[in-house]
A and B are shown apart, each in its own frame.
Chain A
Amino acid sequence: SYELTQPPSVSVSPGQTASITCSGDKLGDKYACWYQQKPGQSPVLVIYQDNQRPSGIPERFSGSNSGNTATLTISGTQAMDEADYYCQAWDTSTVVFGGGTKLTVL
């Protein structure tokens, strides 16, 4: 079965750039998306189709996907960005989530 691998945790200082990776076999051949989840809340889509931002998502969120790795980049990270982030792909009618990355802003 298809698997997506994320680092369990990433730390970043306020105002700096955070990068969260998601690895999977030939992931670049599929669409990747990213969700932000804060404690006690439902996931929120922050990037879809590799690099598209939904309405209402700040410009500091961006995405890329090539080869075996998709990357979520948060520029000028703010304290409010501290959350869990999940990547997800759609492979032969199967939805796959990465294990999630806890982003700490300190």
Chain B
Amino acid sequence: QLQLQESGPGLVKPSETLSLTCTVSGGSISSSTYYWGWIRQPPGKGLEWIGSIYYSGSTYYNPSLRIRVTVSVDTSKNQFSLKLSSVTAADTSVYYCARHVATSGYYDYWGQGTLVTVSS
């Protein structure tokens, strides 16, 4: 059974960089069938796509976040990571990592999510 687990600081100061890692177990991140993505959800609000990465390193980002986002992959550790720079209170959200089926564009496995609060 595939599992994804987010990890990283739960509190980040304004203007700093948010960094999260997603560890994939029960399957290989190097599969050609999937992308690996980050999605966030502000408290009480809807889902927002952040970006996706292929095992080769090809990335796709939400245009509204592109200038602040970097998603990377480490196939040796079966992990992928998110960096979001210059954070503000508006970036306070539950951050999810998920597996993204490449051909059809849906997310079939999700992590449990991790709340990141931006506050001084």
Q: Which residues of A contact B (CB under 8 A)?
A: 1, 30-31, 33, 35, 37, 42-45, 48-49, 54, 86, 88-90, 93-100
Q: Closest approach, in angstroms, between the C-beta of B80 and any C-beta of chain A? A: 15
Structural contact, B104 and A49, CB atoms closer than 8 A: yes
Q: Which residue of B lies closest to A31 (CB)?
A: B104
Q: Which of B25-33, B46-54, B71-79 contacts A (4 or more CB under 8 A)?
A: B46-54
Structural contact, B106 and A31, CB atoms closer than 8 A: yes
Please name 28 pairs of A and B residues whose Cβ atoms are closer than 8 Å in the assembled complex, sorted by A. Answer: A1-B63, A30-B105, A31-B104, A33-B104, A33-B106, A33-B107, A35-B107, A42-B113, A43-B96, A44-B110, A45-B107, A45-B108, A88-B105, A88-B106, A88-B107, A94-B49, A95-B37, A95-B39, A95-B105, A96-B49, A97-B46, A97-B47, A97-B48, A97-B49, A98-B46, A99-B46, A100-B46, A100-B47
* B contact residues, range: 20 to 34
Q: What B residues does A49 contact at CB under 8 A?
A: 104, 106
Q: What A residues does B104 contact at CB under 8 A?
A: 31, 33, 48-49, 90
- Taking A1-B63, A48-B108 as known contacts, 10 extra A-B pairs with beta carbons closer than 8 A to each other, sorted by chain A number, are A31-B104, A33-B106, A42-B111, A42-B112, A48-B104, A86-B47, A93-B60, A94-B62, A97-B49, A98-B46
Q: Which residue of A lies closest to B112 (CB)?
A: A42
Q: Which residue of B lies closest to A101 (CB)?
A: B46
Q: What A residues does B64 contact at CB under 8 A?
A: 1
Structural contact, A89 and B47, CB atoms closer than 8 A: no
